[in-house]
Amino acid sequence: MASADTSKRFDAIVIGGGHNGLVCAAYLAKAGQKVLVVEARGEVGGTASSETYSGITVNICNCDHLTFRTTGVMDDLNLARHGLKYLDVDPTQMATSWHDRRIWPHFRDVNRTLEVVERFFKQDVDGYRAYLRDALPIAEMIIDAASQPPTRRSLVGKVIKRRGKGVTTMLRWSKLSAAQVLQKYFKSESLIGPALVTGPTVWGVSPHTPGTGLGALTYALRHSSKVGRPVGGSGMVPLSLRRSIESNDGVVMTSTRVSQILCEGPRVRGVALANGTEIFADCVVSACNPHDTFLKWLKNPPSSAKQVIDRWRATPHYEGYESKIDARVTKLPRYRDLDSKLFDDLGVDPLTATLVVAPTTQDLHRGFEMISRGEILDQPAMLVNLPSVLDASMTNATDHVFSLEALFTPYSFKGGWTSNAEPSRWLERFSHLVEPGFIDSIADWRCVTPAHYESDFFLPKGHATSFAGGPLAALLNSQPELTRYRTPIKGLFLTGAATFPGAGVWGASGKNAALTILNE
């Protein structure tokens, strides 16, 4: 065993330089651990990164960060010193639907939002108030619970602290579908649809799926947290985290692939790289897909790992369902069905926030069913924004950045992803929501499909396994390695989107994994 070579020995090795892996590594490095991050791509960040395309800065995924600033990570790691600065986005989002083209804003301030609801959906004002009475305590509890590793003791403590407020509702919602929850409070599909798009649709499931009720929290979360965008693009989060790691003498290796997680007896002893190099550590953290971790990389796993390996062998890996168009446009679009006077009176630029374009509940369910047939809705759910309107650093002096994320666009699309015919159709559909000339304003564009997420970001079938569910699921989950961050192999830990609290640029999973490791 070549442990005498200190250049190949670390206290901790983190596999995967996505933002959660980087958060975990940064906490460990700050605590004095000798840390190595191994990342397969040429730069860190994974799907939270940004890159240059056609002379502009584009985000790999949507640029709105809702929960990252609720975790304490920015202050704990002093990321502002490493270049991370946020711009607040308010309205938190804009919304419209294919069947009702009116565009309405949602604000962080409850009263401003109620004024909008009264103007656009008068019959739902009382329902929105009732929704907030029930939803806000749950949203606040989930944000609070995500800030530390979930245990029965910690969660019971939070319930006592809040005098049980929201617990009964959370239990009830957890058993329902998101559609059932929202339809209890709202009558208008134009109010329900956008909440379903930013809830269960971005999870890749039908709005009628039982157990997705907490996906109905999307509006409440936007009242409880600030929506923000990092100056310079989403990729400033992983970049600032890398700088934090390196400032504490951590090492980040990019363009380097792990081929094995080495085990000896009951514990890990390090990793083997694709080039055959072995690097040793008593702690290995996988910030990657658990299927790869347990089924592809483990070498000589102990007998204690058999149950978890068998469980992951029986756990299906789903297909990716998101695609994203990035474009350089020479002229800003103008929405057709926009009440300009209303937005002037509100003091709002409608192009600063993301526009949610929603199908009906029925069509969202149909779109989910079409995934298995490799088909896509004629009018799919979309998230559209122009991040350079708020952040001029992302573009040149004359052009703007346009982003369109289309959902329920399956990896096994029967038309194939070798051409841009289908993404071109989404641009054409979107062009009906804006004044003529939009298509002509597109100077250059590309589409990142589930096939690209597989080939370029090492996501099998373009899908990132994500933990779905709130604090209750964290306690009752049948895969405890996803909520406790520990595995049956001593020294092997998990973090990333597959672990609590799940997907999105949140960082709580990386922080919780690091705290779990340091506590041991």
**pLDDT tens readout for residues 230-279:** 999 999 999 999 999 999 999 999 999 999 999 999 999 999 999 999 99
Interacting residues of 152 by C-beta distance below 8 A, sequence separation 6+? 475
Question: Among residues of the chain, what percentage have pLDDT more than 90?
Answer: 86
Condensed to tens digits (0 to 9), the pLDDT of residues 148-171 reads: 887 656 665 655 566 666 788 988
CA-to-CA separations, 87 to 30, 98, 218, 236, 391, in angstroms, rounded: 27, 30, 20, 12, 8
Interacting residues of 477 by C-beta distance below 8 A, sequence separation 6+? 469, 483, 500
Tell if the pTM clears 0.85, that is, is over it.
Answer: yes
68 pLDDT more than 90: yes
Per the prediction, the chain carries an average pLDDT of: 93
Q: What mean pLDDT do residues 185-200 have?
A: 97
Which tops the pLDDT comparison, 2 or 282? Answer: 282
Note if the bond before 91 is cis, omega within 30 degrees. yes
Local confidence band at 145 (pLDDT 50, 70, 90 cut-offs): confident
For residues 12 and 517, what is the distance between their CA atoms, to the nearest angstrom?
A: 10
Local confidence band at 1 (pLDDT 50, 70, 90 cut-offs): very low
Interacting residues of 81 by C-beta distance below 8 A, sequence separation 6+? none
Condensed to tens digits (0 to 9), the pLDDT of residues 337-349 reads: 999 999 999 999 9
Condensed to tens digits (0 to 9), the pLDDT of residues 375-406 reads: 999 999 999 999 999 999 999 889 999 999 99
Helix (H), strand (E) at residue 444: strand 442-448
Condensed to tens digits (0 to 9), the pLDDT of residues 448-489 reads: 999 999 999 999 999 988 887 666 666 667 788 999 999 999
Which tops the pLDDT comparison, 502 or 128? Answer: 128
314: left (phi over 0), alpha (psi -120 to 50) or beta: alpha
Q: What mean pLDDT do residues 203-218 have?
A: 94
